[in-house]
């Protein structure tokens, strides 16, 4: 049942405020001041976190690395499962291993988990399907409560993975004494405000639909982001290529001049995911480099960011203001909608893209 939507993907994008609100209520019950986990994790007993996943779930790990390192000062290693499992990396004492998977059945992720069993101090997982192999074989599985995801391109599972990882990073920060009680409450307030912000962010659907008709003409599209928005650039590019078959790449904004800028001309739209944060000025100079070469910038930012970017930007998408902490969750919406509307404009099979399976149970 597509609930009145044209595709499951559209339904699953639109469901995010409700689904996130449900997930928040499981981990942050109304009236509680603390994060409630299904079982305790002692973050003072571990020195490092190794996070492993594939595809979009791996990009959720990329975002979470910023959170765990910045908020909890916990060193994080991340890798894609297909590389991790054959690299056979050392797993030092004091390592917790965390696997992120919507299906809980991804062959490479499961093999990476089995490699860590008996080596890591604790095997954790963040999964959508509670009865899955990855869930069962973990010491502690944290459900994301996204509900069934049918569209092959992952949408609501990604934002729910991010939510659970954000709360886990805050819990780690609290236990490790890296955050004051007051700061923690402020962050939890940010989390409680997320469903409302997601609802507001979804109103960009119409403008995105209009500009996606132009994007659908492009052969190549670049996505740029800095800090925790860099993984969002990767996610935006993955979503777009998966369902619209347009070649897209995500880069860290600062990497542009180390090679990718050679691709820029007036045929290559460059999508910049940049809320006005501490790194925004640096992103502006990257945009100027693109514009000086005739590149067309689509800036996804908040009102202040769009204002300070000035003239010369090709198109803008205005997002609600959001804390730097949770911007990666909110900016998943434009990443998803840009891919969705571009694919619809091209007339591709959005829910069942060619060559892809929902659950990759063979390597
Ligand atoms: C992208 C997508 C894939 C999955 C990847 C991992 O839209 O859906 O990249 O994220 O195959 O799948 P899970 O999370 O089931 O392990």
Q: What is the Å distance from ligand 1's center to 58 Cα?
A: 8
**How far apart are alpha carbons 45 and 42 in whole angstroms?**
6
- From 12, 51, 52, 55, mutation site for ligand 1 pocket: most ligand atoms within 8 A of C-beta: 55
Beta carbons within 8 Å of 200's beta carbon, 6+ residues apart: 320
Q: Would you say the C-alpha torsion 180, 182, 184, 190 has a positive or negative sign? A: negative
| pLDDT: which is higher, 361 or 12 | 12
The pLDDT, as a whole number, for residue 361 is 86
Among protein residues, the one with the nearest Cα to ligand 1's atom 5 is 55
- Give the tokens for residue 355: 């060559």
The rounded percent of the chain whose pLDDT value lies above 70 is 100
Label residue 240 by pLDDT band (50, 70, 90). Answer: very high
What pLDDT is stored for residue 354 in this prediction?
Answer: 86
Cα(280)–Cα(48) distance, rounded to whole angstroms? Answer: 30
Q: Rounded to the nearest 10 degrees, how much is the dihedral formed by the CA atoms of 277, 195, 231, 269?
A: -80
User: Residue 32's pLDDT band (boundaries 50, 70, 90)?
Assistant: confident
CB 191 within 8 A of CB 159: no
Q: Which atom of ligand 1 is nearest to the CA of 358?
A: 8
For residue 39, count other CB atoms closer than 10 A to its CB: 9
- For ligand 1, the distance from its centroid to the CA atom of residue 60, given in whole angstroms, is 11
Model pLDDT for residues 144-158, shown as the tens digit of each residue: 999 999 999 999 999
* Non-local CB neighbours of 164 within 8 Å, separated by 6+ positions: 23, 27, 126, 142, 144
Question: What pLDDT does 31 receive?
Answer: 81
Distance 157 CA to ligand 1 centre (A): 9
Nearest CA to ligand 1 atom 9: 55
Q: Give backbone dihedrals phi and psi of 338, rounded to 5 degrees, phi first.
A: -60, -45
Supply the pLDDT for residue 359.
Answer: 85
pLDDT band at 33 (very low <50, low <70, confident <90, very high): confident
Cβ contact 253:232 at 8 Å: no
User: Which tens digits make up the pLDDT trace of 70-119?
Assistant: 999 999 999 999 999 999 999 999 999 999 999 999 999 999 999 999 99
pLDDT computed for residue 210 by the predictor: 95
Distance 360 CA to ligand 1 centre (A): 8
At residue 348, the pLDDT reads 93
d(CA 83, CA 85): 6
Q: For 12-27, what is each residue's pLDDT tens digit?
A: 999 999 999 999 999 9
Give the residues surrounding ligand 1 with Cβ less than 6 Å away.
54-57, 101-103, 106, 109, 153-154, 238, 242, 359-360
Mean pLDDT of all residues in the chain?
96
Q: What is the pLDDT of residues 158-184, one digit of tens each?
A: 999 999 999 999 999 999 999 999 999
Q: Give the residue whose CA is nearest to atom 11 of ligand 1.
A: 55
- Quick one: 254 exposed, middle or buried, by C-beta within 10 A (0-12, 13-18, 19+)? middle
pLDDT of the residue at 109: 98
Handedness of CA 287, 290, 291, 296 (dihedral sign): negative
Quote the pTM value.
Answer: 0.97
Tens digit of pLDDT for each residue in 328-350? 999 999 999 999 999 999 999 89
Gyration radius (Cα) of the chain, Å: 20
């Amino acid at each position: 049942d597509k609930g009145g939507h044209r595709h499951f993907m559209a339904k699953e994008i639109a469901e995010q405020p409700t689904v996130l609100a449900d997930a928040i209520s499981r981990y942050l019950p109304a009236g509680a001041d603390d994060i409630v986990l299904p079982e305790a994790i002692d973050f003072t007993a571990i020195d490092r976190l190794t996070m492993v996943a594939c595809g979009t779930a791996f990009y959720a790990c990329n975002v979470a690395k910023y959170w765990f390192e910045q908020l909890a000062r916990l060193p994080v290693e991340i890798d894609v499962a297909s590389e991790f499992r054959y690299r056979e990396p050392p797993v030092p004492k004091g390592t917790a291993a965390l696997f992120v998977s919507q299906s809980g059945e991804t062959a490479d992720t499961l093999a990476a988990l089995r490699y860590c069993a008996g080596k890591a101090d604790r095997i954790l997982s963040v999964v959508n399907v509670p009865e899955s192999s990855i869930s069962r074989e973990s010491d502690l599985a944290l459900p994301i409560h996204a509900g069934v995801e049918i569209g092959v391109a992952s949408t609501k599972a990604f934002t729910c993975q991010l939510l659970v990882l954000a709360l886990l990073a805050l819990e780690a920060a609290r236990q490790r004494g890296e955050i004051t009680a007051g700061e923690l409450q402020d962050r939890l307030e940010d989390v409680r405000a997320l469903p409302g912000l997601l609802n507001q962010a979804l109103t960009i659907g119409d403008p995105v639909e209009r500009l996606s008709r132009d994007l659908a003409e492009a052969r190549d599209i670049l996505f740029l982001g800095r800090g925790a928005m860099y993984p969002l650039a990767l996610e935006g590019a993955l979503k777009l290529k998966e369902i619209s078959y347009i070649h897209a790449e995500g880069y860290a904004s600062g990497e542009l001049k180390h090679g990718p800028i050679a691709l820029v001309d007036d045929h290559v739209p460059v999508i910049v995911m940049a809320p006005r944060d501490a790194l925004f000025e640096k992103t502006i100079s990257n945009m100027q480099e693109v514009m000086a070469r005739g590149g067309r910038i689509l800036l996804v930012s908040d009102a202040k960011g769009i204002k300070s970017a000035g003239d010369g930007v090709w198109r803008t998408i205005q997002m609600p203001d959001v804390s730097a902490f949770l911007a990666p969750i909110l900016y998943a919406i434009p990443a998803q909608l840009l891919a969705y509307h571009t694919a619809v404009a091209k007339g591709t099979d959005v829910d069942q893209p060619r060559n892809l399976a929902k659950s990759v149970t063979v390597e």
